[in-house]
Amino acid sequence: MLLIRFFGGKGGVGKTTLAAAYALAQARRGLRTLVVSTDPAHSLGDALETSLSDRPRRVTGTLWAAEISGERQARRRIAEVLDDARHAVPREVLPAVERHLERAAESPGTVESALLDRLTEVVEEAGERWDTVIVDSAPTGHMVRLLSLPTLLTPWIEGLARHRRRARHADRLAAGLLGDPDDAADPLLERLQARRARLGRLRTRLGEDALVHLVLVPERLPLAETLRAADVLTGAGLPLGAVVVNRVASGDETGVLARRREQEELVLATVHERFGADAVVTVPLLPGALTGTAGLGEAAVWLGRL
């Protein structure tokens, strides 16, 4: 069994409910299961009827859950970088560095990068602390960017490390000429090298041990977004799992609902043609709130093929 599963899709298609339901099903099999949300509009706790935070909390049995805050992770990361800077930059420029880092803490790129760092920590625990990890991702565009970040950030970090090594080499030459050789460790360079190594491990792990399940409802706009996301993810080397079509009408409807069912059939035909019938799982339109262990258990019945 693959250790890591991502559930992603357009906002409002039910990916959080299905991720929580699948996690509950895995836990009921006796697997140590962690389900985490990376969606800024966290609703995983609502689905599980449990208050959640960044740190995993036991929900029931062998099921644990967490909601990762990119903003909170970014503030922690900025604090670490600032601590490194105090040892690596001249004191007179430190105030300007601090102001720059304060502004950087609010930027989307910093938040996504910090979120990736926390997700990396979670993924590294798969197979050790957890038998399986299920990720309730942000809506499609955010999920695609997040999963593409390891590939995008690696060359950028390598460039920063090269520049830092050159700067350190020049500093050491100057210190040697002045008779004061500088052989102290460089915490900033060490952190860059450590992060580059972690990103490399994450890229390998996602390629070997993960699947991305795209979730949609049988409507044209979610279908178009799903097809685009599938192309981007496969182009980035990320393996796709079964596509989940949620809230499919039963076919017994009349009137307006019958006409809607005709439109759903067109969408389903396109999904089957694009991904293959064996790679599509359908979940019917279910009654009830589908929250808590009872409601999620009803949805989990339909996810047995994942």
C-alpha span between 56 and 47 (Å, rounded): 16
Query: In whole numbers, what is the pLDDT of the chain averaged over residues?
Result: 81
C-alpha span between 142 and 170 (Å, rounded): 40
Q: For the segment 57-72, what is each residue's pLDDT rounded down to a tens digit?
A: 999 999 999 998 877 7
Q: For the segment 236-266, what is each residue's pLDDT rounded down to a tens digit?
A: 788 899 999 999 987 776 677 777 888 899 9
Place of tokens 């499609």: 140
Q: Are strands 63-67 and 210-216 parallel, antiparallel or unpaired?
A: unpaired
CA dihedral (178, 183, 184, 190) positive or negative: positive
Residues 6+ apart with CB under 8 A from 189: 161, 164, 165, 168
Asked if residue 132 has pLDDT above 80, the reply is: yes
Residues 6+ apart with CB under 8 A from 289: 295
Q: Which domains does the chain have, with CATH numbers?
A: 4-83+107-148+206-303 (3.40.50.300)
Q: Are 80 and 191 in contact (CB under 8 A)?
A: yes
Q: For the segment 179-192, what is each residue's pLDDT rounded down to a tens digit?
A: 555 555 666 667 76
CA dihedral (265, 267, 268, 274) positive or negative: positive
